[in-house]
Amino acid sequence: MEYTEFVSSMLTKIHDSKRDFGNRDLTNYAAIIGEFPPVALDLVSAFRVGGSIGHDILIRAVENWTIIASEEFPKSIARLPDADLEFQVRNRQQKKAFIAQWVNLRDSFLGTQAISFPKDKFRYFGSFLYDLLFDCWAFNSMEGERPPVTLPEGCLVGKYARPVVYYVAGWTLHSLSMALTIAKDKRAIYQTFAERHSIGEKEAKDQDLPVSLVLKRTNRSLLFCSPEYFKFICFVESVYLDNLTLEMLVGHPEGNIIQVIKSFVLGSDIALKQINDLCSDDENSCSIEDNMLILKYIMDRYANMRGTYFVKFLSGTRKASATDTQVASLATQTKVLSTVASSKAGAKSKLSKKPLWDSAGDSVTEHPLYFDKLEASE
């Protein structure tokens, strides 16, 4: 990060009438600037230019955040909670020193206009600029360190996961066969796809598909999916498994990692090719547009179900690891800063162990009726 350019850019945005920081939380600062006397905007305009005293002390604040972060955030994920506290303590100390220097420079900054900017308001304005720049720095650091979604090299669905994934695959086919959220005159493509990839219980058992969880459901007609469709859903699940890591959680602290991965799959040429193959055979073929509609329908439902048991795991009700729970509780800015630490440690919380998948099985058999009722009401 080039500090002079960063400070000038942020001050320019707060001086601009639009005050758009590209983030709703940051843009909320725009409502506060009006609480200060008009001379406050004059100071912001002056501090945008390099070489001014005000510009220099703001640059030093930004530089110090980077230094503190590099010194405090550890190479071991286990020390993140302590590092979080230490970073906050040092940041408070820095802010205290910044405000003291800021107040001492009041007359130099304002000159004859000092009378129009009371000392208590001027102190508050210094605190406002410090907090604004800190939050913008944290947001920019997050964007710079945000890890991308990746494709796994092979199938990551292990033996404990297979019954759960197969069950969810069958549930998505059941949803496709109903297509309740689709206009009646447009349901045919979804229902045709579901019919093509639905098989009987005997055939599923003969092909050694993991049907154990499907057989546990007795309160509605069972639905078994074809090996080809199950393979596709295993591909989708593998993308989630490969990316639901501590590093990705920290890198996407807004809490939308499930949707981020879904968007990646929807834009994947590999996923689209697999859907094209599933939608076509020697006698029939579908348009690319229809195939994309089917892919989106499947991914919307899969992401909803995937999020249900993943969030349940993270909440701690399903024996989440201490590290996952600690990181989930960190402040947003600290999650941003700890991205580097988590990548150094290579800490990946892959959701593949038997206790987790047992609890996932409980969740996926518990929630489909809720989703079905929700769709029926739309």
209: buried, middle or exposed (CB in 10 Å: 19+, 13-18, 0-12)? buried
- State the Cα angle at 231 between 227 and 237, rounded to 5°: 140
CA–CA gap between residue 333 and residue 69 (Å, rounded): 11
Q: In the beta sheet, which residues pair with residue 225?
A: 198
CA–CA gap between residue 339 and residue 141 (Å, rounded): 9
Q: What is the pLDDT of residue 354?
A: 61
* Residue appearing with tokens 């058992």: 205
Q: What is the pLDDT of residue 27?
A: 64
116: helix, coil or strand?
helix
198: helix, coil or strand?
strand
Q: What is the pLDDT of residue 378?
A: 45
pTM over 0.85: no
Q: What is the pLDDT of residue 346?
A: 38
CA–CA gap between residue 162 and residue 180 (Å, rounded): 27
**Nearest of 251, 326, 339, 249 to residue 79 by alpha carbon:** 326
**pLDDT string in tens for the chain (378-residue length):** 578 888 888 888 877 766 666 666 566 676 677 788 999 989 988 998 877 888 999 999 999 888 887 777 654 444 555 666 777 888 889 999 999 999 999 999 999 999 999 999 999 999 989 988 888 887 777 666 678 899 998 999 988 889 989 998 999 999 999 988 888 999 999 999 999 999 999 999 999 999 988 888 655 556 899 999 999 999 999 999 888 876 777 666 555 788 889 989 999 999 999 999 999 875 667 788 899 999 999 998 898 887 765 555 544 433 444 334 444 444 444 444 444 344 333 333 443 456 555 555 565 555 555 445 444 444
Q: What is the pLDDT of residue 105?
A: 93
Q: What is the pLDDT of residue 79?
A: 54
**Nearest of 346, 325, 349, 342 to residue 142 by alpha carbon:** 342
